[in-house]
Chains A and B, each alone.
Chain A
Amino acid sequence: MSLPLHLRSYREKSKDEYTRDFFNVPTQSSLPSSSSDTPSVVKIRDKGYRNYENDQLQGMDINAVISVEGKEEVYAGRLSLLPPFLCFISLDRKSCRCTIPLYTIRRVERLNSRAGVFALSLATWHGMRIILQLTSLLPTAEHFAILLRDALKSQLAAMKQLKPFLPSLYSEYLLSSPLATSTGQQQTDHLLLGTELSEKPNATAPEGEGDLRGPGGEGKGIYQRGLGETFGFPGDARKMRERSKMKLWREYFMIHGRNLTLLRYPPFQRLLQVGLPSRLRGELWEVMSGSVYLRFANPETYGLLLSQNAGKSSQSTDEIEKDLNRSLPEYKAYQSEEGLARLRRVLVAYSFRNPELGYCQALNIVVAGLLIYMSEEQAFWLLEVLCDRILPGYYSPSMEGTLLDQRVFESLVHRCLPMIQEHFVSVDVQISVASLPWFLSLYINSMPLIFAFRIVDCVLAMGVKVLFQIGLAVLKINGEALLEITDDGMFINLMRSYFSTIGNSAHPDHPDPRVRAITNFQELLVVAFREFNVITDETITAERKRLRAIISDEIEKFSKRAAVRNLKNIGKFHKDQIGIIYDHYFSAICSPEAGPSTYTGNSLPGDQFDQPRIQVDAQGRVETRIDHRTFRVFLSQIATWAREETVTTNAFIQRTDRRVADHELIDRLYFAWDSQNQGTLSLQDVVLGLNRVMTAGLMESIEWFFELHDKDKDGFLTKDEVIQLSESLLFIFRNEPGDIYLAAVSKFILNAYEFGDATAPAGSVDEKVPINGDGETASGARERSDSSAGPHNLPYLNLATFRMVVLADELLENFFANDLTASFQLEQTEDEDYHQAHQRSEGLLGGLMNLVVTNENKNRLHRLADGFGAALGKHAEWRKPSLGKSSGTDPTLSSSSSTDLKARESLLTPAQQAGQFQRPSISPGSSRTRSSSAVSQSSTKTTDTTGTTTPDDKRSLADVEMRYREESEMVKAAQEAVMHRPNFAIDAIGDSDDEGGEGDDEGVMDEVEAFLKAHGADDEGLKGEQKKVAEDLLKAEPMGVKKKAKETNNLVDL
């Protein structure tokens, strides 16, 4: 049983992180930092808010206009410096975009041009010249330039790695050989005539494999390649116009840069949507997704992972082994040992890279797909990007990302295709039964490979929204048939038959051959990208945000149910009580007090997934267990004496602060409950442990308490242990008012010694004279006498005597008969719907409330109130007693504290206690309000204690209670205000006035042809004056020696 702990530590991404994601820029933590010499090959999870180190380079955003030498188009947009990357996105967020690693920039110059224009010229590794006109205010632009310079400087070392790295990319090979222009021309001509996948034989295309290898290629070169190079790529190369596409890409690369310096201009989108050529696909995948930056930055990692873990096996490796033969078995390579070996290595390496995720079914399909086009190392890094960024949480042990996105998808269907949604609801069919595999395997398992990979192309280029757009389009296209289905079987069969005919003509009977040639798949893309272009990254983000809390709660409830059900022995507890124990167990693990043991900043990389808490049991199942520190937190939630409760009153409010207590007694319980001596406790251990202490009567309580202190389990306490037991009692009684408990314990010690002397086994009675006769005992005693007073360690007091001593004292008898058992209380925690309750509200008011309701501010408020209280002379603090027996513990309220003892003694008639403490108490409590309000909590507590107070006290307490109730009402109201959140999510999907550029509309239908049209018609670029400025800049001379120039020299020298 493994608990979904990570859900609680989830936090929304910051704006900066979203920007990084958008540009496919890896987080700084995933790039090896200069400080650590030996980068870890095991993934380090990003925990909470990162502290930006001082040496980290600062990023900055600025308005800019971009133009490239040799290109007409000029785009205005936003330039972001995200060290070590420079990124640009045009204002319309689609026409022009680029992510350029700073290590590919050879030269930066400030251009000398008209006054008021701050322009930089970047020369890239591939000889491209990019002009950036910084259109913000001059000081801002200058600041940007300084940051850019610093960032560039930091990348000097990385530049040296560029040269050996680049040959691993096919595009370098492609452009290294001259193009045979004549055949190229022919190809272009041919392209104008037909559409993709036409049935007509392609007369002009050269036959054979050679035409796929790119101009002049024989498949030589040292670029990294996938299985396809050996076993053949899926699909008919000729039908897919591989050669023409390759040529177009080659031309594109010449102007717009390639691989690491690739700029995305409008033609890019069109080339993308007609399907990437097989040989370039792997490279473009890693460039578009940004995984290439990881591969560049971590050249050793993959090899190290394999060599370090060679021969190791784990649950993941076993599962991987089982699925190898079920991964795209129809593809030739996966019928061969070579293909299977590659698949195995990548999956195994990743399972060791990210042990928390390990291996998830469906990854085998995805990786099998990737490996057709990519080398192992390329696929490995792309897998990392997929799991981390593109499909976050899809493959994790609780698969929360999958569940979340399925819910998001349902909600989008509800909004975009309400008819279908309604019908599905009416026939009680869940869309997920079909759509789940679409998302989990990126459609690779759902439709013929050649089409599925074209969807993968788009997903990697444009992000996860494509999965949703395609899914919606599939439903929309099949809309009429879907309205006929009556059960999920029909649904599945319908989807299956649609996907199996996706290569067929969408309009088989149309007279126009060009229309006839349009396949179902092309139609699908058109619908997806045109009708559902309103589904944007923001839509997905907003919907995920809206639904995450619900999903997280569901997962937690589900795993709670499963965990409770899977307990082998629940003792005498009721299921609800087990649920409460589970909640405490879980919340203890998530509590910050339990955190430091595993979340210390300097922890070893291997520790990052809570090694001590997650263990693999004999059956290979992963199990969550709690360590010692967590147990203390856990117990403090249940046992009244295992926490310090400080009640503070000032003029304004009363609150109760809880802290976790620390005492040897708690450690003793911990070790006593560790039934399997594992050093950690499972939920089962805890349940059985609690079962014993909470259901015990007088004799049983005495017995377990005795056993707890009998370390060697010989049935005797030593004198030391008697003292320790007394200390334990004093610890429990530490906050009880008055001194009757102290007196009782003193009496207990005296009695214990008195009775003990009489009943102790021979040889240990005389504590003054060490015994010499019995060799074994004596030597044992001598050994121990170094650390403690020798004979104190001899067996001394047995259970019967102990019992006698206890029963001799009324107070202790009562304690063991009732109070001890009752001190363990199962109260509902705040856990139900934790995530929804903790979801931050949006909007102006919500934002304000959030500001107030953070813990830190709450503490600040408390301190402030205390300050006022102190000033007014009304500030008071006292410790809450653990047993809660004594009334009037509140000094400001009690009529007289001297009534304590009497009240207590008179109260504790056995009959009354029996009524009150027979069973472990459950008080539902006001769980919601407690979450952020200590006030209401204290009111609950007060209510609890009233049960045992005298009528006099009850009166005064009732007053207090009323006051608190009023206060908690107020708090509740405030809470509700906080909880209220406006509907916002997908409101954006209204009428979109942005109907997509002309180019996009035609881009898909007319495929490559559209690309060949003059690009000038594109109206997304800048016009007129601004364009002229940009053009002038192209001719502009670099400015004289400035700060830049120095560094420029450096760069040039390289």
Chain B
Amino acid sequence: MSEETPIKAVQVKLVLLGEAAVGKSSLVLRFCQGDFNENTSPTIGAAFLTQKCRLENRIVKFEIWDTAGQERFHSLAPMYYRNAQAAVVVYDITKAASLEKAKAWVKELQRQANANIVIALVGNKVDLVSDSTTKPTEPTKVKTEENEEETEDNEVDAEEGEEEETTPSPAEENTSDDIRQVPTAEAEAYAKESGLLFFEASAKTGHNVGEIFTEIAKTIPFDTISPKPTTTSSGNNRRSTNNNENNNVNLGDNQQAKKGGCC
């Protein structure tokens, strides 16, 4: 993939949103691992990563903004989803509240972000439930008290979600069905109704992770964004050439200004 192909890469700005600890960073790391490993620093505001994705007829270069999940960073999010062509809204299938938060994100994106933004709803941590297919499992309340205790464990576990890849869940093996708090059908129905792509994935096992990004790449209406490719030559002509001219002229000015203290 690192080898240059004659096909021009199309750049896509993608933003990851979701409650804290649902595994946003893990998903991106999983997706970007190998090709890109420049920065594994903690998320302050947002981490920025890039990854290419090859389709039959084109290469898509994702510029990924992995936003901080902490609630107080919420007000900074618009800065990152501005101009984004795609968004991945992540929730944790073992934590019902995280889907609520995801829905709020979707609403916000639909109202505030690009009109054409492609949104994918991703339920992460399917590795925690043994049966990762679509069998919807009801939450634990109908079950025994023992199970309810298990649920609490899960919540604690879920809060440490960012390290999910390295920390195996204690409840993982036996009672996996009970962990699931968001039935696939419910989330899928919501996604359908809101016009979102929908996946259940696992950053830990890598299940479905690549598919999310491939599917997004396929769905994006490239006609509308291709005028802004990685090279500055084509498209966007009027503005960029103007700028270039200005730049050249102004650069001299700028240097002069530097000497005089340009402010």
What is the CB-to-nearest-CB distance from B249 to chain A, in angstroms, rounded to a whole number? Answer: 10
Known A362-B44, A364-B42: A397·B72 in contact at CB below 8 Å: yes
Known A496-B39, A565-B108: A361·B76 in contact at CB below 8 Å: no
Determine if B261 and A361 form an interchain contact, defined as CB atoms under 8 angstroms apart.
no
Determine if B75 and A399 form an interchain contact, defined as CB atoms under 8 angstroms apart.
yes
A423 within 8 Å of B (CB atoms): yes
What A residues does B160 contact at CB under 8 A? Answer: 321-322
CA distance A936 to B240 in the complex (A): 52
Of B78-86, B116-124, B212-220, the segment with at least 4 beta carbons within 8 Å of chain A is B78-86
Determine if A361 and B70 form an interchain contact, defined as CB atoms under 8 angstroms apart.
yes
What is the CB-to-nearest-CB distance from B144 to chain A, in angstroms, rounded to a whole number? Answer: 21
Which B31-49 residues have a C-beta within 8 angstroms of A?
Answer: 38-46, 48
Number of interface residues of A (CB under 8 A): 64
What B residues does A565 contact at CB under 8 A? Answer: 104, 107-108, 111
B20 within 8 Å of A (CB atoms): yes
What is the CB-to-nearest-CB distance from A251 to chain B, in angstroms, rounded to a whole number? Answer: 35
B146 within 8 Å of A (CB atoms): no
Determine if B45 and A436 form an interchain contact, defined as CB atoms under 8 angstroms apart.
yes
Give which listed residue, B75, B243, B258, contacts A558 with CB less than 8 A: B75
Contact with A along B234-263 (1 / 0, CB 8 A): 000001100100010011011000100111
What B residues does A364 contact at CB under 8 A? Answer: 42
Known A361-B44, A433-B46, A433-B79: A483·B262 in contact at CB below 8 Å: no
Determine if B254 and A361 form an interchain contact, defined as CB atoms under 8 angstroms apart.
no
Give which listed residue, B42, B73, B263, contacts A989 with CB less than 8 A: B263
CA distance A562 to B101 in the complex (A): 11
B21 within 8 Å of A (CB atoms): yes
A319 within 8 Å of B (CB atoms): yes
A594 within 8 Å of B (CB atoms): no
Q: Which residue on chain A has the smallest CB distance to residue B251?
A: A480
Determine if B262 and A417 form an interchain contact, defined as CB atoms under 8 angstroms apart.
yes
Determine if A534 and B263 form an interchain contact, defined as CB atoms under 8 angstroms apart.
yes
What is the CB-to-nearest-CB distance from A550 to chain B, in angstroms, rounded to a whole number? Answer: 14
Known A555-B75, A619-B97: A365·B42 in contact at CB below 8 Å: yes
Give which listed residue, A323, A419, A440, A484, contacts B45 with CB less than 8 A: A440
Determine if B42 and A323 form an interchain contact, defined as CB atoms under 8 angstroms apart.
yes
What A residues does B263 contact at CB under 8 A? Answer: 415-417, 534, 989
What A residues does B71 contact at CB under 8 A? Answer: 2, 397, 621-622
What B residues does A991 contact at CB under 8 A? Answer: 261
What is the CB-to-nearest-CB distance from B114 to chain A, in angstroms, rounded to a whole number? Answer: 12
Known A398-B75, A430-B79, A433-B80: A445·B44 in contact at CB below 8 Å: yes
Determine if A360 and B163 form an interchain contact, defined as CB atoms under 8 angstroms apart.
no
Contact with A along B14-26 (1 / 0, CB 8 A): 0000001100000
Pick from B21, B63, B253 the residue with the most CB of A within 10 Å. Answer: B63
Q: Which residue on chain B has the smallest CB distance to residue A535?
A: B263
Q: Which residue on chain A has the smallest CB distance to residue B231?
A: A486
B50 within 8 Å of A (CB atoms): yes
Determine if A318 and B79 form an interchain contact, defined as CB atoms under 8 angstroms apart.
no
Determine if B42 and A399 form an interchain contact, defined as CB atoms under 8 angstroms apart.
no
CA distance A496 to B46 in the complex (A): 14
A126 within 8 Å of B (CB atoms): no
CA distance A441 to B41 in the complex (A): 12
CA distance A787 to B159 in the complex (A): 53
A479 within 8 Å of B (CB atoms): yes
What A residues does B41 contact at CB under 8 A? Answer: 326, 445
Known A322-B160, A534-B261: A423·B247 in contact at CB below 8 Å: yes
What A residues does B247 contact at CB under 8 A? Answer: 423, 483-484
A428 within 8 Å of B (CB atoms): yes
B207 within 8 Å of A (CB atoms): no
Contact with B along A211-241 (1 / 0, CB 8 A): 0000000000000000000000000000000
Known A558-B75, A565-B108: A436·B44 in contact at CB below 8 Å: yes
B172 within 8 Å of A (CB atoms): no
What is the CB-to-nearest-CB distance from A547 to chain B, in angstroms, rounded to a whole number? Answer: 15
What B residues does A326 contact at CB under 8 A? Answer: 41-43, 162
Determine if B240 and A486 form an interchain contact, defined as CB atoms under 8 angstroms apart.
yes
What B residues does A619 contact at CB under 8 A? Answer: 97
What is the CB-to-nearest-CB distance from A982 to chain B, in angstroms, rounded to a whole number? Answer: 20
Contact with B along A377-406 (1 / 0, CB 8 A): 000000000000000000011110011000
Determine if A419 and B44 form an interchain contact, defined as CB atoms under 8 angstroms apart.
no
Q: Which residue on chain B has the smallest CB distance to residue A1?
A: B71
Q: Which residue on chain B has the smallest CB distance to residue A622?
A: B71
A244 within 8 Å of B (CB atoms): no
Determine if A531 and B104 form an interchain contact, defined as CB atoms under 8 angstroms apart.
no
A432 within 8 Å of B (CB atoms): yes
A992 within 8 Å of B (CB atoms): yes
Q: Which residue on chain A has the smallest CB distance to residue B25?
A: A326
What A residues does B30 contact at CB under 8 A? Answer: none
A895 within 8 Å of B (CB atoms): no
What is the CB-to-nearest-CB distance from B239 to chain A, in angstroms, rounded to a whole number? Answer: 7
A489 within 8 Å of B (CB atoms): yes
What is the CB-to-nearest-CB distance from B241 to chain A, in angstroms, rounded to a whole number? Answer: 12
CA distance A476 to B247 in the complex (A): 14
Determine if A403 and B254 form an interchain contact, defined as CB atoms under 8 angstroms apart.
no
A677 within 8 Å of B (CB atoms): no
What B residues does A559 contact at CB under 8 A? Answer: 75
Determine if A432 and B243 form an interchain contact, defined as CB atoms under 8 angstroms apart.
no
What is the CB-to-nearest-CB distance from A448 to chain B, in angstroms, rounded to a whole number? Answer: 12
Determine if A360 and B72 form an interchain contact, defined as CB atoms under 8 angstroms apart.
yes
Determine if B240 and A489 form an interchain contact, defined as CB atoms under 8 angstroms apart.
no
Give which listed residue, B11, B40, B159, contacts A489 with CB less than 8 A: B11
Known A326-B42, A436-B44, A562-B74: A423·B104 in contact at CB below 8 Å: no
CA distance A321 to B21 in the complex (A): 11
Determine if B72 and A992 form an interchain contact, defined as CB atoms under 8 angstroms apart.
no
What A residues does B239 contact at CB under 8 A? Answer: 426
What A residues does B159 contact at CB under 8 A? Answer: 318, 322
CA distance A194 to B234 in the complex (A): 51
B130 within 8 Å of A (CB atoms): no
Q: Which residue on chain A has the smallest CB distance to residue B261?
A: A531
Would you list 12 pairs from A and B whose C-beta atoms are within 8 A, ordered by A residue?
A322-B159, A322-B162, A360-B72, A361-B44, A399-B75, A433-B48, A445-B44, A483-B247, A492-B48, A565-B104, A619-B97, A621-B71
Beyond the given pairs A321-B160, A483-B251, A989-B263, 15 more chain A to chain B contacts, judged by CB atoms under 8 angstroms and listed by A's residue number, are A327-B42, A365-B44, A416-B263, A418-B262, A426-B239, A433-B45, A433-B80, A437-B45, A480-B251, A483-B250, A496-B39, A531-B258, A558-B75, A559-B75, A618-B97
Which 6 pairs show the lowest CB-CB distances between chains A and B? A326-B42, A416-B263, A489-B63, A619-B97, A437-B44, A436-B45
B interface residue numbers (CB < 8 A to A): 11, 13, 20-21, 38-46, 48, 50, 63, 68, 70-76, 79-80, 82-83, 97, 104, 107-108, 111, 159-163, 228, 232, 239-240, 243, 247, 250-251, 253-254, 258, 261-263
